[in-house]
Amino acid sequence: MLLFQPNSFYIKTFLVVLTVSFLSCKKSTDAQQQDDLYKNSLSTSIPAALKGGLWFWGSIGPVSYYDRDGHEVGNGTEAARQYNFTEVQGQGRLEFTQYLGLRNASNCVTEIYTTKKGTVVFEGVDKLTFYPVEGNFKTVKKGCSENGTTTRKAEGADLKPETLLWEIDKSSGKPLLYIYNSTDTAKQNPVFVYSFAQ
């Protein structure tokens, strides 16, 4: 003789509790894996001059394309880059994002997105080394012979550390972040000049 007869309420309740428990464990595991990526990566604190916002560079190309009726359909190139410096539990972190858009005479548009996240070490007053630990790449094609979106996770050589020189200068009272190749110790040829964007 069966003393307990399961009904649909108890079964549904059990399944909900089991599902919530599983998802909670999965989120905890994902968060732990995320923390592990950064835990063993070199880092220092972020200088005060770089904290608290995004450093942005962007441009559009001088070439414009027109349709058959003479209407402008867009620029030939667009590009943007940004650095976001933060600290997590005293560990300096850097998120780098980049966008590159290309349009040809046939109105084929290719958009390339890059994101890299990691830790950063500042040495002296003008040197930083970015240690990416994760990232991804996405390419979107529209109006081309082969349209679609492709994505790929950053791995291996994509996550190679990068050492740069930097300095802050104020132009018209606004801070600008100058980035130089590590070999340009005289700081003669900036690779990019970023504006501070809140």
Q: What confidence score (pLDDT) does residue 107 get?
A: 79
CA 11 from chain center: how many Å?
Answer: 44
Q: What confidence score (pLDDT) does residue 6 get?
A: 46
CA 8 to CA 182: how far, in whole Å? Answer: 67
The greatest distance separating any two alpha carbons of the chain, rounded to the nearest whole angstrom, comes to 90
Low-confidence ranges of the chain (pLDDT < 50): 1-23, 25-27
| Domain-wise residue ranges, the chain | 10-40, 41-197
Q: What confidence score (pLDDT) does residue 170 get?
A: 87
Q: What confidence score (pLDDT) does residue 106 get?
A: 80
Read off the pTM: 0.77
Helix (H) or strand (E) holding 21: helix 8-39
